[in-house]
Structure 1
């Protein structure tokens, strides 16, 4: 029996199965976090609204342009050009409201303001 455990083929198969199990567990964890984020009533409310990009631009100029630049090209904060292609709406909502990457502060826009901002960010 000990001899079988030392065989390279068996060891490789066991390691492969452990890696697959770990990747599946990570995937389930990430999916669970995403489902929790999407089920948030604030997020659901924002996603149900039609945003006005003109209003979103005005809000961006007042609250975001100081760090992200007037055209979202980045200054202190990163460039937001094409950010909607890199991040989902849910991720953007959580970034804005959570300030997940210091020194970005937390903002608490009402749902319509957040929908407007998302609409503008989509145009960048």
Structure 2
């Protein structure tokens, strides 16, 4: 019985991950607006990452190597470590703007 629950958990996790990947692709297809992105960042991200993105209680975002745009979008959608998910907080357009 526990094996069945384990597999259901694995399937649910994969389905969620695939959904985030598709949503990330959809977001990357949108044209971002830097002015709105600055306002969205200030309202939702700056309290942890600093007004200029150089860090605070959250990590420095400036010059982060190894993350492509799709990875950044997936982190925003699903969260990472202590960062919460913003999938239900920000619209796809707001994420594209950031």
TM-score of the two chains, using structure 1 as the length reference:
0.58
Residues of 1 paired with 2:72 and 2:86: CA distance?
A: 12
Q: Contact (CA 8 Å) 2:31, 2:97: kept in 1 or not?
A: yes
What SS is found at the alignment partner of 2:54? coil
1:1-124 matches, within 5 Å, as 40-83=21-64, 85-102=65-82, 104-108=83-87, 109-117=90-98
Larger relative contact order, structure 1 or 2 (CA cutoff 8 Å, min sep 6): 2
TM-score of the two chains, using structure 2 as the length reference:
0.72
Structure 1 segments of 4+ aligned residues over 6 angstroms from their partners: none
The structure with more helix, counted as a fraction of residues: 1
**1:115, distance to aligned residue in structure 2 (A):** 0.7
**1:40, distance to aligned residue in structure 2 (A):** 3.2
RMSD of aligned residue pairs (Cα, Å): 2.2
Corresponding residue pairs, total:
81
Q: Which has the larger radius of gyration?
A: 1
* Unaligned ranges ≥5, structure 2: 1-16
* Unaligned ranges ≥5, structure 1: 1-35, 118-124
